[in-house]
Amino acid sequence: MSDELWSSLAVDRIDEWERGFAERAAQAKALAERAAQLSATGRAGDGDVEVTVDSNGQLTAVRLEEAIRRQPAATTARQIMVALRAAQADLVRQYGEVTAETVGADSETGKAIMAGLNARIAAGDPE
């Protein structure tokens, strides 16, 4: 094979790698932009307790209906935790959808994103 042919094949291979890198970078950027906009809300106690989490699974809002005044504080505390776990589970579901649509759920990047989110959420869970 001539040097010219080898050179041409090498350039083609480099161009292919470059396109692949650019495509993955665009996918990662789309994932980051969409993920940053995510939030989720969970409810418990027949809707008397509502919590919202941000894109990192961190609590950003708690809404309690006046009806909770008629129940023990321990019951309200449990309902808050149930609502928080429901919100975080919904966030994981949303992340899964966004990840699948951008970088692919089965890609190494997709798996790493989901593992990181699950670790962050588990780190904040006292159970």
- Per residue in 50-64, pLDDT (tens digit) is 999 999 999 999 999
Statement: residue 70 has pLDDT above 80: yes
- CATH code of the region 3-123: 3.30.1310.10
Within 13 A of 46's CA, how many CA atoms are on the CB side?
6
Query: If residue 108 lies in a helix (H) or strand (E), which one and from where to where?
Result: helix 108-123
Tokens 């994981």, residue? 92
- The dihedral over CA atoms of 90, 27, 105, 51, expressed in degrees to the nearest 10, equals -10
pLDDT at 50: 98
Q: CA 92 to CA 86: how far, in whole Å? A: 10
Using the predicted structure, report yes or no on whether residue 114 has a pLDDT greater than 80. yes
Summarize the confidence of residues 8-37 as an average pLDDT.
83
DSSP E strand stretches across the chain:
40-44, 49-53, 59-64
Distance, CA of 44 to CA of 8 (rounded, Å): 64
Range of lowest pLDDT (2-16, 24-38, 63-77, 95-109): 2-16
Output the pLDDT for position 14: 80
pLDDT computed for residue 121 by the predictor: 87
| Mean pLDDT score of the chain | 89
Percent pLDDT > 70 in the chain is 94
Which strands, in side-by-side order, build the sheet including 49-53? 40-44, 49-53, 59-64
